Amino acid sequence: MSPATPSPRAADFDLAAFLQQTLDALGLEFTPQQRQQLLDYTALLQRWGRVFNLTAVRDVEGIARQHLADCLAALPSLTRQHPRRLLDVGSGAGLPGIVFAIALPDVDIHLVDAVQKKCAFLQQTCGSLGLHHVQVHHARIEALCDAAGFDCITSRAFSDLPTFVHATAQVLAPGGQWCAMKGRPPLAEIAALGPAYACRVEELRVPGLAAQRCLVWVQRTSAPDDALAIPAVPAAQ
C-alpha cells in the first residue's frame, strides 16, 4: 500500500519553525540537539503511530499543535520545581514523558505503561534519541516499586485525580508532589481528594492551541496512612 499523499496544508506546515516559535513563546531555551530530538521524535510518532496504536493524531501539524506544544507548555512550571527523579505514569506514546526527557537531560526520568507494545516504542525511541537518563517500566503502576521514590510524578490523560494519586502513593518520595495535566480545572476531582491533600491549579497557555489547559499540583498534608481509601468522584452534572 502506497503512503497517503499529504494535504497541501500538511505539506506547507514548517515543523521546525513552529517548534521554535513555541519555545520562544514559552521562554524555553533548547540546544540545537534538543530541537533536533523533538523533530526526530515527531518523525518516530508518525512512522510508528499506527503500528503501535500510539495516538489518534498522526499528521505532523496535529502532533505538533495538540501534543508537543501541549507538553512543552508544562515545562516552565515543571522546571521551577527542580525535580531530581521524575516518574511519568501511563506514558503511552511518550507524551509528556519523552518531551520532558528531551528538555531535562539531567533529571532521572522513569516512564511506566501497562501496554507492552507502547513500552517497546518508548524503549526504541529512547535509544534512537540518545535519552540514556530514561528508564522504561512495563508494569501496572500499582505494582511498581522504587525504594528511593520520586519527587515528582506526572500524568496526562491517565485517570481522575484520586485514582492517579492513590495508585502512585507508594512511590512518591517524602515531600514530593504529583503533577496532573488537565483541560479545565477538575474541581470535582480535587474535592474528592479530601483534606489529606493540598491542590494548586495552574492555568496554562498553549501556543497555537485554542483550548483550556491547566496543571494540578498535589501534595500530601497528612501522613500517607491517613489517606489510603480512594474517594469516589462525583459524576459530572
Domain ranges in the chain? 70-224
Mean pLDDT check: name the lowest of 105-109, 198-202, 216-220, 227-231: 227-231
Close Cβ partners of 218 (under 8 Å, ≥ 6 residues apart): 161, 165, 177, 178, 179, 180, 193, 197, 198, 199
Length of the chain: 237
Residue 6 clears pLDDT 90, i.e. is over it: no
For residue 231, pLDDT over 70 is answered with no
**pLDDT range class, residue 236, cuts 50, 70, 90:** very low
Of the listed ranges 78-82, 127-131, 230-234, the least confidently predicted one is 230-234
Spatial distance between the Cα atoms of 42 and 61, rounded to a whole number of angstroms: 10
User: Minimum mean pLDDT among 22-26, 73-77, 146-150, 225-229: which range?
Assistant: 225-229
Q: In sequence order, what are the residues at sequence separation of 6 or more whose Cβ sits closer than 8 angstroms to the Cβ of residue 175? A: 151
Residue 82: is its pLDDT beyond 90? yes
Query: What pLDDT, on a 0 to 100 scale, did the predictor assign at position 223?
Result: 63
Give percent above pLDDT 90 in the chain: 80
**Which of the 8 DSSP states describes residue 24?**
H
Q: Which long-range contacts (CB under 8 A, 24 or more apart) does 155-159 make?
A: 155/88, 155/89, 155/90, 155/179, 155/180, 155/181, 156/70, 156/71, 156/90, 156/95, 156/96, 156/180, 156/181, 157/90, 157/181, 158/89, 158/90, 159/90
**DSSP of 74-99, one letter per residue?**
THHHHHHT--SEEEEES-TTTTTHHH
- Determine the pLDDT at residue 148: 94
Instruction: Name the residue with higher pLDDT: 227 or 180.
Output: 180
The whole-number pLDDT of residue 5 equals 39
Average pLDDT in the chain: 90
The SS3 call for residue 117 is helix
pLDDT tens digits, 114-164: 999 999 999 999 999 999 999 999 999 999 999 999 999 999 989 999 999
Q: What is the pLDDT of residue 4?
A: 38
How many alpha carbons fall within 13 Å on the CB side of residue 230?
12
Residue pair 234/189 in contact by the 8 Å Cβ criterion: no
The predicted-structure confidence for 15-49, as pLDDT tens digits, reads as follows: 999 999 999 999 999 999 999 999 999 999 998 88
Count Cα neighbours of 28 within 13 Å in the Cβ-side half-sphere: 29
| Angle formed by the axes of helices 15-26 and 32-52, nearest 10° | 120
pLDDT digits (tens, 9 = 90+) for 92-102: 999 999 999 99
User: What band does 52 get if pLDDT is binned at 50, 70 and 90?
Assistant: confident
Topology annotation, domain 70-224: Rossmann fold (3.40.50)
Q: Which of 212, 171, 6, 23 is nearest to 86 (CA)?
A: 171
Stated pTM of the model? 0.89
